[in-house]
């Protein structure tokens, strides 16, 4: 079982719609959860962090965490073509190393 799992996609949504990206993790001791966006050929860019159960909102982005279900998600409201990228879910447990999922490709169609 992979430590962090994401649907590879591509996930296609029309412009203006809500994109929902999901991630599950296997280590119950995981403490911190991050979403990074990576454009093709570029570096990962941190867009959200979440540490406790519930929702965290920042602009058009909402991260949701459910530790009992070992599940973290990212919602992107009013999706724009510029949101088209690979979204990486990353988790830290004991120690500081980030464990990444393989990423979900998001395509926003105009």
Partner 1 sequence: NAGVMQNPRHLVRRRGQEARLRCSPMKGHSHVYWYRQLPEEGLKFMVYLQKENIIDESGMPKERFSAEFPKEGPSILRIQQVVRGDSAAYFCASSQQGNSNQPQHFGDGTRLSIL
DSSP state of 76: E
Shortest reach from residue 110's CB to partner 1, in Å: 27
- Please report whether residue 105 would count as binding partner 1 according to CB under 8 A: no
Site map 72..91 versus partner 1, x via CB under 8 A: ----------------x-x-
- Please report whether residue 103 would count as binding partner 1 according to CB under 8 A: yes
| Member of 46, 59, 77, 78 binding partner 1 (CB under 8 A) | 46
- Please report whether residue 97 would count as binding partner 1 according to CB under 8 A: yes
| Member of 15, 16, 26, 45 binding partner 1 (CB under 8 A) | 45
Span interacting with partner 1, options 9-17, 18-26, 40-48, 69-77, rule CB under 8 A: 40-48
Q: Decide: 55 and 64 in contact? Cβ < 8 Å.
A: yes
Q: Decide: 98 and 34 in contact? Cβ < 8 Å.
A: yes
DSSP state of 88: E
16 phi, psi to nearest 5 deg: 95, -10
């Amino acid at each position: 079982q992979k430590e962090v799992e994401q649907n590879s996609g591509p996930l296609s949504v029309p412009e203006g719609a809500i994109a929902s990206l999901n991630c599950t993790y296997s280590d119950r001791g995981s403490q911190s959860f991050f979403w990074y966006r990576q454009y093709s050929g570029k570096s990962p860019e941190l867009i959200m962090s979440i540490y406790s159960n519930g929702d965290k909102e920042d602009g058009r982005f909402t991260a949701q965490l459910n530790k009992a279900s070992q599940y973290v998600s990212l919602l992107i409201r009013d999706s724009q073509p510029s949101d088209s990228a690979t979204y990486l879910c990353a988790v830290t447990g004991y120690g500081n190393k980030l464990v990444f999922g393989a990423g979900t490709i998001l395509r926003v169609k105009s």
